[in-house]
A and B are shown apart, each in its own frame.
Chain A
Amino acid sequence: MNDERLRDAFAELRRMETERVPPLRWPAPRRRALPRFAVAGIVLLLGTLTAVPLLRHRTPPTQSITTWRAPTDFLLETPGRELLKGTAP
C-alpha cells in the first residue's frame, strides 16, 4: 500500500458518495427574528412588572415613631417603679 493507492481508494470513495448528492436547494429567506437584546429586554421588563407587586405585599406596614413600642418595653416595668414616679412626702 502506498500513497498512490491511497489516493485511488479515496477517489473511489469520493466518486461513490458524490454521485448521489442531493440537489442544491437555497433555503427561503427566513423572517428576521427579534434581536437577542430586544428579547432580553422584554423578558426583563415582564419579570420586573411581575416581581414589583409581589415584593410590595411582602413589606410590613411601617408604624409611626410616636406609636411604636419596643417589644422589650415590659422589662422596664420593675416592681416598685411607681414609688419613684412621684416626689417624696
Chain B
Amino acid sequence: MQKEELEREVAGLHAASFGWALSCCRRDRTEAEEVLQDVYVKILEGKARFDGRSSLKTWLFAVIRRTAAARGRRRMLHDLLLAKWARQQEPPVIDPPEHSDVAAILLDALQKLAMRQRQVLELVFYHDLTIEQASAALNMSIGSARVHYQRGKKQLLARLDGRIDR
C-alpha cells in the first residue's frame, strides 16, 4: 500500500482509532490523544508497517494497543522512580457529564471486567469486529478470544441486568 493511500485510510479510521485508544487508556482522553500521536509518528516513520496480513483496522488497533501498553509501562516505571506510586494508583475518574446514564452504567460495568474480557467485548460490540479480528488485534488465539468473549459477556449481562431498562 502506498504511503498516501495508507495515510488516507488511517485518517478514515481516526474516530474509531480514538475510541479504541480511549479503551486502551482507561478512558483518559489526554493519554488517548498522546497514544494516537505516537501511533501516527510510527506510521509516518515506517516503524509500524502494514503488511496486508490482516485488515487495516485490525492492524491499526494492534499498533494502538501495543503503543498504549508501552506508554503505560514507561509511565509506571517513571512513577516508581519518582515514588509517586501510591498516589497514581487511584483509578481514573470518569467524568459523568460526558456520558448518558446508559453509557455511564455500561462503562462502570466494563471497568469491573478483566482487561482481556473488556477488550474483546469492546472490539466486538463497540468496533464491530469479529471475534477472529479481535483475537488478531489482541495478539491472542481465537480460542482464547472466544473464551474471553463468552465469559465477559456473561458477566457484563449479569452486571447490567436490571440497571439498563428500555
Binding site for B on A (CB under 8 A): 1-3, 5-10, 12-14, 16-18, 20-22, 24-27, 29-30
Contact = CB atoms under 8 A, between A and B. Distances in A.
26 contacts: A1-B157, A1-B161, A1-B164, A7-B125, A8-B102, A8-B166, A9-B102, A10-B122, A12-B102, A13-B103, A13-B126, A14-B126, A16-B98, A17-B19, A17-B22, A17-B103, A20-B98, A21-B15, A21-B18, A22-B18, A26-B44, A27-B40, A27-B44, A29-B44, A30-B41, A30-B45
Contacts of B166: 5, 8
Contact of B160 (A1, A7, A25): A1
Contacts of B45: 29-30
Contact of A24 (B14, B22, B99, B105): B14
A24 B72 CA distance: 22
Given A1-B160, A3-B153, A7-B125, 12 more contacts: A1-B162, A2-B157, A12-B102, A13-B106, A13-B126, A14-B19, A16-B100, A17-B19, A17-B98, A18-B19, A27-B40, A30-B45
